[in-house]
Amino acid sequence: MITTMLWVATTQWTTTLGTRLWEGLGGSDGDNGHDSEVWAGFRFEIGRYVFRVCMRVFER
């Protein structure tokens, strides 16, 4: 239960941070949507990494 809540919070945080960073760099989704697909995959990888780190911390 706690890990699920942590996962959701982490995903929302990385998504918000990533979106703001992307907009700050002048990126946009564009018409083809290719950039947004790449960015979504990038955010997913970040979220997965943070989740694994958090799981290791909670195992101790």
- What six digits make up the tokens of 41? 């995959």
User: Which contacts qualify for 27-30: CB closer than 8 Å, 24 or more apart?
Assistant: none
More confident residue, 24 or 32: 24
57 has pLDDT over 80: yes
The domain tally of the chain equals 1
- In the chain, the percentage of residues whose pLDDT exceeds 70 is 50
How large is the average pLDDT for residues 27-50? 68
User: What is the extent of the structural domain holding 21?
Assistant: 2-59
54 has pLDDT over 70: yes
pTM as predicted: 0.37
Residue 43: predicted pLDDT: 75
